[in-house]
Amino acid sequence: MERRQYDISSWGKHALHPKPSKQAVDFIFVMDLLNFSFWHERSLKKRFTVDFKGQHTGYWSLVASMQRGLSLGYRIDDPQYYSEMSEQDFDKIFATASPEHEEIPMRSKRIQMLHTAGKILVRDWNSSFTNVVTKANGSAKQLMHLVLQSFGELFDDSLEYQGEKLQFQKRLQILVADLWGCFQGTDYGYFSDIDSITMFADYRVPQALLAIGLISYSPELEQRLKEDELYHSTIGEPNENQKHMIPRGHQFEIEIRSASIYSVDLLVKEMCKKKKVNAIMADFYLWDLAKEQNTSMSHLPIHLTRSIYY
């Protein structure tokens, strides 16, 4: 991170990310409402791909689709529009590169979530997420509380495990982090308690943590991921039956995500002995690292859970 001068300004250096503005707040809300489940069930060459200022897959296919939609006059950042968005408009905004490529995963669920979230913003927040952020009064915790209170299961990434409720809140926390990154910790991105945010427990960052040796998998888990068809290679053609996955709430899913949060917390504490850093920056760096070194990490297993939460 130090060699690459990786800091809060790195977020805005991605060409597809929005520039700071009131409109950007509403753009980021939709971006993180839909920021989930981009892994493919077919080969890498046929996965959901978007053509807009280059070809994009994964998370960047979402951002590229939204930016392309705006450029074509579709107000994907306006709750009044997307609360009643037609399926035809959705398919134009999130059009895949060719008929050979699969459509965006969980298409119907995403449309439903846009309709529900848009209606809530129109009804309760004067048609803008900026009003939610303003009411949070510079507190990340308060903003997350308000989002959970208003949008409920659209964001509530919590699970029961051995009699306790665990709060992962991946998309909820990354919503705060993206505002912080976009506005460089000022204006709509100022949060006095920003360091209370943990890493964002998904399926990509654990792979990076495996690669650098911060976490390891038990022989039982590794065997299940690789041999019981729960491991889905990021390159090559999967076999017909290679669509099994770890169900949401399974012990393996919970433990992988929990270990990721804990290990990044330990990493951040160690890094802070030399330079101030937080879990957001560590996560952003590890995620970018995993994407950049996708091919060299392809031998490392990724757990797959089809879910709206990551």
- Contact between 151 and 120 (Cβ < 8 Å): yes
Residue 41 CA neighbour count, 13 Å, CB half: 13
Catalytic residue among 202, 265, 283, 288: 202
Helix (H, G, I), strand (E, B) or coil at 45: helix
Q: Is 202 a catalytic residue?
A: yes
Question: Cβ neighbours of residue 275 under 8 Å, at least 6 residues apart?
Answer: 2
Q: Which structure tokens are listed for 121?
A: 């913003």
Lookup: tokens for 271: 């890094």
Torsion of Cα atoms, 152 then 281 then 30 then 165, to 10°: -10
Tokens (6 digits) for 142: 């308060």
Residue 152 CB contacts under 8 Å (≥ 6 apart), including other chains: none
Using CB atoms within 10 A of its CB, is residue 250 exposed (0-12), middle (13-18) or buried (19+)?
middle
**H-only helix segments in 129-169:** 130-136, 140-151
Q: What per-residue string of b and e applies to 86-106 under the rule 16 or more CB within 10 Å gives b?
A: eeebbeebbbbbeeebeebbb
β-bridge mates for residue 50, sequence order: 56
Which residues are catalytic, by number? 202
